[in-house]
Structure 1
């Protein structure tokens, strides 16, 4: 009979449970990345597999999961408080990048009539702002960016033509681009890294291009959402844009005047994004958005692998070890808008030398002027609220008087901030920071005057945010009535004090709260004076004293409460008017937020540089990259880890003497760390810095060596870019003698002292003198028989490699290299012309047979 008992957590009897189970099982199928949550007024519930997901996210355990219904139709469920519900939704959307559906009962929550009231996805959080308020933001404070991608065949080149649109509703920004891409969608990955979308919309299809797109999004941690192909239609788009876009006064009020609208494929993406996040359903979006082109070429091209290998950004949800990433290391920002801009700058390294040096000028000034740096970091910036979020609340008519006052406080600080910056007496600071802040301060002066004229500043000191009663005649009349009722209540206090023989305000006090209104309070010692006195009604007797009232005081409370309700309704009208006027300043506030975030990041850089274990120095950047010299280079994240004594190393590239380092040495010797340090330290230029670590590991020894050899030569002699090439193929050290003045050898130094392997983590010139692999095996106490067999096998392999070395020294080398180059070109043609993997491999096998028929020893030694 126990299974028939109601489950108290859900307050459902067995019949209601069965009805809900039947309803839940009738819902359409969904992916595991969508979680359904049911709003039951005072709490929430999740069911089935979603209960397991929620339990792991919120409680890190499934022990709280219960079961409802009768056999055989039992259903797992989990009950969540409002606080746990908020934790779950934030984790699902911002860390897991899942989708959320919130169901609300159309009738009684005990019934089975439910409907989806709110939906949320990583790129569309607007509906959930009503549920979660302003707390919904990324780990780095980012407002979600939604991307949409469509792939067509270019009618001219017959290649892949990609359209991309990005919409950041929180910033009222739309940006688009259109380009042809390769089969790996390399350019798309670059743009995805730069724009950092949370979600990507694509047409529902499963062809190879969209499979490649899915892989790109998986690498960049972006949720992919498939839409109907009809959603990617530009029908009615121009009319929609005419309502959403903000036109300049001198600009033709027609979206067709934007050159971006000529990008036909990109416009299909923009149409899909606008529809998906329902921008037109909210009138506060009208005449707010900016439309621009994505300028990917302005920034260094980074893919997801580079971001990960160089530890640029923290992993999603990783807040425990900030120094594990460059973002965590450099983030000394005082404002939320600063943190957002820092993440953006790290994803979008500049390529313009003048813009780079402008930033460096300010950071150097702040490094050298510790007083200015501390004033900005410890005083001014820490008092600046998230102006971008507050400006958006104004625009959406969601702001209150407290929000308006926080903006007022921030603007009040601008004169002292400007005074602080002016003392720097620096042209770059003046033009990029002081002057634009000063102009905005002048524009916001009337906002200050409005707040001072309308807000009761005396009430603010008490923690209340109210409109001045004198600002509105109706408010003034109601305020006077409230004062009269307060006075009447105090007269009742004096009357009761005389009656009870007590001292008003001391032994008997007048107090009030929202539950009871006005009441009297005396200490427990005085309780006996009230006994049997029918004039007084005792409310309760607690440790703090006895609370009681009279009929007259109760009547005053009723009138006071009604008048206060009327006052609040009238004030709400005035507040709505104030917020409406304040919303007119939102554009200025967005601009001010951007400039202050820029200042915050530059101060953050200076603080990080000044407080590093050994202070950072300013790089000297030249227009023509003839050399790259990094002296005593350290890895910024590793050197701050506990227990690490970092050994600095130099990196030197010079055209005419050294373009490519072939880096050899023992595992754990520091090769990869040296390369990553170099990658993290380089400033971005149109010339590339290439880092290759252990190329060829996924294939046979000889094929891997051949591939690594060919790529190294191509980078050094054709691309002619600076390159660090770490490898365990010791044969590659011979490249230095073939290409003097271009390729040099370097190695991570290690030695054996008293039968102990010592890794010195020092990069020195020349190739590694010997392989330490067998010695490491001896230190690991492997059996002597295995060591002896390995030594014999090594000798045999080195003998086989003699043919490669001999071939390198003959004229067959150049002929063989030409044959391999021709072979690779033909392979590429086959790859581009044949879509079937099976057919492609057959053709490549034929080309390989043809290559071997030339009987070239160089080729044979590489492929054998």
Structure 2
């Protein structure tokens, strides 16, 4: 196989045909991309590009000629279906350089029969720079992220910049090594660029390994903080960034790198990016990557959207609304004022149900303004994108009129004000210029409304009604000459001409007529003439189609420029409509599912009455199964204490422990994103960090067993959780030997109680742990209730105070279909094991609490006098003592302690 390196050699170029020489030259400048080389109606790929593309796309690999004595592999895709193939290549991690013909083949032939049509790369297609409607999901943002680090700042010098060129969104935030992966996962980018140096930093290798192929190294010069401000100001056409806000060096470096990458991939085109908006570090709920996966916020563990929390919550009717809902779900707030501002909007929409329903109906006709705008700005749009802008502006204005007489809350009022800033002249211009039925491509023409442009109407008439125009001119000449038999005819030699019989020729040849009619040909029985008017008409008819398209393209360019000029107002109005959509959608969800408005404040209260799992509840309704069993959860401080409680939850498998754990975490997330929650009542003191360790998985690629993954995640929780955190732990220690696991779980609970002091739900099958509630004042036992009936176990899915005495594992095994002989043998073995453990060893341990005594107990002062017990121990040799002497010595020590 001829590799890219081989192709770039002088020998390779010297041996290439002119066309292949051009391909090799362009490919050498784009070595990290598959090259889509335009040839007529196809994009062709050659050499190893063709081999890779054919394998990924499942298309036939052929060959075209030879190079250096070897066959040249080739495959191709039609231009009109290229987007479908691009989507598949991008999904498999490829980057594509699109190489177009930049001149007409006829022009190339003028230079000689063997001349090659000029071609050049017009765009690099990467996962984070997509704009085509076919390549984007309407409900998902398509973020490109840049990660930068400033030297000398240690673990704190990181910054993230992320933007979506399809919508114009552009944001920045500072980060740190300990939360870097969590911040990245919160944003969920499709592509991440980092400098070469950072990419090979061993300290970040675990982060990049987790993120996988979405991380792309780029030259370090793109991330230079010294030149960053200049790059940003040039892009936005400003002299200073003072009006943008204050940014750190790392943030500037990240923002400049993102802009540089956009300029690199989009070449001469400039997307309509909003000014970078800075997020305050720590302004959102910290959710570590493992917790995001466990809670299945955007996708299930299998990668599906169905079954996720987002799918259960999404009642939006616009693409922008769905994207905003996902962003809020991934970034719940910590600011109670901002949270309650959102809740106020949802509550108002719920109360004004008629208004909310009307708004949702108006929003259904709202196209995706930002993405249409982006395509127009990048010269990838068409008349339908202009039509989308027109329709969106009309729908947004109608939405504003709908709310004109209402006393909307602050968030809705601000959104309506932003919609009101849309320029009415632009809307009027688009309405006057664009027709009702619009083609997909500008080259098809026919998108300008009749009556908008006089010359265009005339050219269309000539193009479409040339016979009628010629007939009208023929009648005019017949009347002027009084020759009723005068005809205007056409042939390929003369073009259009006027023909009269030889007997009527005098009317066109007299002195008066000669000024108008020009003799062209004499026939046996007829004479042929032309006129300046007819010749001009012929020329205009011949060029009418081209002229009509030229005029339409000129109008298109003016309209596009007017739209792009108003991009800031359009982006702001689009965001405003998304805010209204999300508020109305969450109100519709609350009414449909019976959700309540949570109380969210700065306390450490966590009290949920009749809480439900939003995903499971809806699944049960779809299946027409038994209704979901609601349960209370109260982790609030009690008895005058400052810290929240820990619930130790025991009960059988299949009893609903994991569902109960997850639903409380999801309710906290929903409350802090500004949504009503699935409960009869909820009071949430803002959670600053959410940790969840639920389920079992391994990481064999990094040499981690299921138990090792469990311990790593548990370690992260115990090392990071604080008093305002919410910790969800399920079955800690079950991946190892029983006593090892029990010991780890025991010590973890003590650490949560004594050190982390956080609100926590801890589910376990180690019933011995329930003894801890006797000594740990903030620990309370809770259990999943069951009933036994004639040897069967009935799961009630109810949570109540108390502790389970067994796990009913054998009953669950029987329900799962284990052979009856195995189940019966298991009962016998369990009975024998239980016979040997009649006493609970846990009670022997609780007297030694806390296990952190060794750390907590203060060391005696260096010069302190030894105690009587220490003095006695210092003068005894245990090796020389008989058993009786040793026992007597112990009694003596006890007496000294009691004296």
Kept after mapping to 1: 8 A contact 2:348/2:409: no
Structure 1 alignment gaps of length 5 or more: 1-14, 248-252, 496-517, 519-550, 824-864
Map of 1:146 onto structure 2 = 145
- Pair 476,770 (structure 1): closer, same or farther in 2 beyond 3 Å: closer
1:758 corresponds to 2:787: no
Residue 162 (str. 1) matches residue 158 (str. 2):
yes
State the match for 2:235 in structure 1.
244
Partner of 1:330: 313
CA drift of 1:665 comes to 1.6
* C-alpha distance after superposition, 1:102-134 (max 9, x if no partner): 567999999999986643222233xxx5xxx44
1:166 and 1:412, CA in 2 relative to 1: closer, same or farther beyond 3 A? closer
Does structure 1 residue 715 correspond to structure 2 residue 752? yes
1 CA distance for matches of 2:51 and 2:302? 20
Residues 307-322 of structure 1 mapped to structure 2, 5 A cutoff? 307-314=292-299
Counterparts in 2 of 1:230-309, with a 5 A limit?
Answer: 230-245=221-236, 247=238, 253-255=239-241, 260-261=246-247, 263-278=248-263, 285=270, 289-309=274-294
Post-superposition CA distance 1:496-543 (Å, at most 9, x none): xxxxxxxxxxxxxxxxxxxxxx9xxxxxxxxxxxxxxxxxxxxxxxxx
Equivalent residue in structure 1 for 2:335, among 340, 352, 376:
352
Shift of 1:356: 2.0
1:102–1:750 distance in 2 versus 1, CA, 3 Å: farther
Alpha-carbon distance between aligned partners in 1 of 2:152 and 2:87, rounded to the nearest angstrom: 39
- 1:322-350 CA-to-partner distances (Å, cap 9, x unmatched) read 54122222222222211221111111112
CA distance in 1, matches of 2:655, 2:52: 42
User: For each residue in 1:25-54, what CA deviation from the matched residue of structure 2 results, as whole angstroms up to 9, or x when unmatched?
Assistant: x999999x9766555543456689977976
* Equivalent residue number for residue 648 of structure 2: 662
Partner of 1:465: helix, strand, or coil? coil
Q: Deviations over 1:772-795 (max 9, x none)?
A: 234445672354895377437734
**Which structure ranks higher in relative contact order (CA pairs < 8 Å, sequence separation ≥ 6)?**
2
1:280–1:310 distance in 2 versus 1, CA, 3 Å: closer
Give 1:678 deviation, angstroms. 1.1
The aligned residue for residue 791 of structure 1 is: 830
Residue by residue over 1:629-650, the C-alpha shift from the partner in whole angstroms, topping out at 9 and shown as x without a partner, is 2324233345335434322222
How many Å separate the matches in 2 of 1:771 and 1:210?
A: 42
Offset at residue 484 of structure 1 (A): 7.7
Query: Aligned with 1:298: secondary structure?
Result: coil
Kept after mapping to 1: 8 A contact 2:775/2:849: no
In structure 2, the CA distance between the partners of 1:723 and 1:135, relative to structure 1 (3 Å rule), is: same
Aligned residue among 174, 196, 202 for 1:204: 196
Q: Which residue of 2 aligns with 1:572?
A: 553
Seen in structure 2, the aligned counterparts of structure 1 residues 572 and 732 have a Cα distance that, compared at 3 Å, is same
Q: Secondary structure at the match of 1:746?
A: strand
1-structure distance, mates of 2:214, 2:580: 33
Post-superposition CA distance 1:696-724 (Å, at most 9, x none): 23443333222222222232344332211
In 2, Cα distance between equivalents of 1:705 and 1:217: 34
**For 2:207, which of 202, 210, 213 is the aligned residue?**
213
Post-superposition Cα deviations, 1:452-509, rounded to whole Å, max 9, x if no partner, equal: 5x52768889x9421565656x5576567668835335669999xxxxxxxxxxxxxx
Partner of 1:365: 348
**In the TM superposition, what is the alpha-carbon distance from 1:586 to its structure 2 partner?**
1.8
Deviation at 1:659, TM superposition (A): 0.9
Rounded Cα–Cα distance in structure 1 between residues aligned with 2:767 and 2:408 = 53
Establish whether residue 450 from structure 1 lines up as the match of residue 486 from structure 2. Answer: no
CA distance in 1, matches of 2:331, 2:43: 41
User: 583, 592, 595: which is aligned to 1:616?
Assistant: 595
* From 59, 84, 87, the counterpart of 1:87: 84
Distance 2:764 2:114 in 1: 65
Task: Give 3-state SS (helix, strand or coil) of 2:147's partner.
Answer: strand
Confirm whether residue 635 of structure 1 aligns to residue 672 of structure 2: no
Partner residue of 1:42? 41
Corresponding position of 2:186: 194
**Per-residue displacement from partner, 1:721-771 (whole Å, max 9, x unpaired)?**
22111112222211222124x211122233443333433322222111223
Structure 2 stretches of 5 or more lacking a match? 1-14, 103-107, 440-444, 477-495, 497-529, 673-685, 689-723, 859-899
Aligned residues: 712
1:377 aligns with 2:342: no
CA apart distance, 1:283: 6.2
Which residue number in structure 1 is paired with residue 679 of structure 2? none
CA shift, 1:688, in A, is: 2.3
- Larger Rg over CA atoms: 2
Task: Kindly report which structure 2 residues correspond to 1:821-832, keeping only aligned pairs within 5 A, or say none.
Answer: none
- What SS class does the counterpart of residue 272 from structure 1 fall into? helix
Alignment of 1:813-852 (within 5 A): 813-814=849-850, 816-819=851-854
Match of 1:693? 730
* TM-score normalised by structure 1 residue count: 0.70
Query: Contact between 1:399 and 1:579, CA under 8 Å: does it hold in 2?
Result: no
Check 1:234–1:783 CA distance in 2 against 1; reply closer, same or farther (3 A cut): closer
**SS, match of residue 600 in structure 1:** helix
Change (3 A) 1:794 1:228: farther
More moved, 587-596 vs 716-725: 716-725
How far off its partner does 1:362 sit? 2.5
Aligned partners of 1:45 and 1:484: how far apart in 2? 41
